[in-house]
Amino acid sequence: SSEGTEHDVVVIGGGPGGYVAAIKAAQLGLKTACVEKRGALGGTCLNVGCIPSKSLLNNSHIYHQIKHDVKHRGIDVEGVSLNLEGMMAAKDKSVKGLTSGIETLFKMNGVDYVKGTGSIANETEVKVQPLDGGSEISLKTKNIIIATGSEATPFPGLEIDEKKVVTSTGAIALSEVPKKMIVIGGGIIGLEMGSVWSRLGAEVTVVEFLEAIGGPGMDADMAKTMQRILAKQGIKFKMATKVLSGDASGEGVSLNIESVKNGKTETLDADVVLVAIGRRPYTEGLGLENVGIETDERGRIIIDQEYRTKHSNIRVIGDVTFGAMLAHKAEEEGIAAAEFIKKGYGHVNYGAIPSVMYTHPEAAWVGQTEQEVKKSGKEYVVGTFPFIANSRAKTNLDTDGMVKFIADKETDRVLGIHIVGANAGEMIAEGVLAIEYGASSEDIARTSHAHPTLSEAFKEAAMATYDKAIHA
Q: Are strands 137-146 and 7-12 parallel, antiparallel or unpaired?
A: parallel
Q: Binding segment for ligand NAI among 209-217, 224-232, 310-318, 449-457 (CB under 6 A)?
A: 209-217
Binding residue per annotation — 186?
Answer: yes
194 binds, among ligand NAI, ligand FAD, none (CB under 5 to 8 A by kind): none
φ and ψ of 154, to 5 deg:
-75, 160
Of 268 and 277, which CB lies nearer to ligand NAI in the complex structure? 277
φ and ψ of 104, to 5 deg:
-60, -45
Residues 6 or more apart in contact with residue 109 via CB below 8 angstroms:
23, 26, 27
412 alpha-carbon distance from chain centroid? 30
**260 scored as a contact of ligand NAI (CB under 6 A):** no
330 binds, among ligand FAD, ligand NAI, none (CB under 5 to 8 A by kind): ligand FAD
**230 scored as a contact of ligand NAI (CB under 6 A):** no
Of 171 and 182, which CB lies nearer to ligand FAD in the complex structure? 171
Binding residue per annotation — 201?
Answer: no
Asked about 311 being catalytic, the answer comes back as no
- Long-range interactions of 268-271: CB distance < 8 A, separation 24+: 268/182, 268/205, 268/207, 268/238, 269/180, 270/178, 270/180, 270/181, 270/182, 270/205, 271/164, 271/178, 271/179, 271/180, 271/181
**318 scored as a contact of ligand NAI (CB under 6 A):** no
Binding residue per annotation — 327?
Answer: yes
Residues 6 or more apart in contact with residue 250 via CB below 8 angstroms:
none
CA distance 59 to 55: 6
Crossing angle of helices 50-68 and 188-199, in 10° steps, is 40
Of 137 and 165, which CB lies nearer to ligand NAI in the complex structure? 165
Q: Which amino acid is at 183?
A: V
- The least distance separating ligand FAD from the CB of residue 269, rounded to whole angstroms, comes to 25
Of 235 and 464, which CB lies nearer to ligand NAI in the complex structure? 235
**427 scored as a contact of ligand NAI (CB under 6 A):** no
43 binds, among ligand NAI, ligand FAD, none (CB under 5 to 8 A by kind): ligand FAD
- The least distance separating ligand NAI from the CB of residue 49, rounded to whole angstroms, comes to 7
Residues 6 or more apart in contact with residue 277 via CB below 8 angstroms:
153, 155, 184, 185, 187
Binding residue per annotation — 181?
Answer: no
- The three-state secondary structure class of 30 is coil
φ and ψ of 380, to 5 deg:
-145, 165
Binding residue per annotation — 187?
Answer: yes
Crossing angle of helices 327-343 and 16-27, in 10° steps, is 30
Q: Binding segment for ligand NAI among 7-15, 95-103, 245-253, 321-329 (CB under 6 A)?
A: 321-329
- C-beta of residue 382 within 8 angstroms of C-beta of residue 220: no
- The least distance separating ligand FAD from the CB of residue 415, rounded to whole angstroms, comes to 22
184 binds, among ligand FAD, ligand NAI, none (CB under 5 to 8 A by kind): ligand NAI
Greatest Cα pair distance in the chain: 70
207 binds, among ligand FAD, ligand NAI, none (CB under 5 to 8 A by kind): ligand NAI
CA distance 88 to 55: 9
Of 245 and 349, which CB lies nearer to ligand FAD in the complex structure? 349
- The least distance separating ligand FAD from the CB of residue 167, rounded to whole angstroms, comes to 8
Length of the chain: 472
Residues 6 or more apart in contact with residue 169 via CB below 8 angstroms:
48, 152, 162
Which residue, 286, 291, 320, is CA-closest to 303? 320
Binding residue per annotation — 367?
Answer: no
- The three-state secondary structure class of 68 is helix
Is the backbone of residue 29 left (phi > 0), alpha (psi -120 to 50) or beta?
A: left
Say how many C-beta atoms besides its own lie within 10 A of residue 412's C-beta: 17
15 binds, among ligand NAI, ligand FAD, none (CB under 5 to 8 A by kind): ligand FAD
Q: Which residues bind ligand FAD (CB under 6 A)?
A: 12-18, 35-38, 43-45, 49-50, 53, 117-118, 147-150, 168, 189, 282, 285-286, 318-319, 325-328, 330, 358
- The least distance separating ligand FAD from the CB of residue 362, rounded to whole angstroms, comes to 11
Of 242 and 378, which CB lies nearer to ligand NAI in the complex structure? 242
Binding residue per annotation — 188?
Answer: yes
Catalytic residue among 61, 64, 418, 451: 451
Of 243 and 301, which CB lies nearer to ligand FAD in the complex structure? 301
**215 scored as a contact of ligand NAI (CB under 6 A):** yes
- The least distance separating ligand NAI from the CB of residue 165, rounded to whole angstroms, comes to 14
Show which residues are catalytic.
451
Residues annotated as binding site for NAD(+)? Answer: 185-192, 208, 278
Residues annotated as binding site for FAD? Answer: 54, 118, 148-150, 319, 325-328
List of residues contacting ligand NAI (CB under 6 A): 184-190, 192, 207-210, 215-216, 242-243, 276-279, 324-326, 356-358
Residues annotated as binding site? Answer: 54, 118, 148-150, 185-192, 208, 278, 319, 325-328
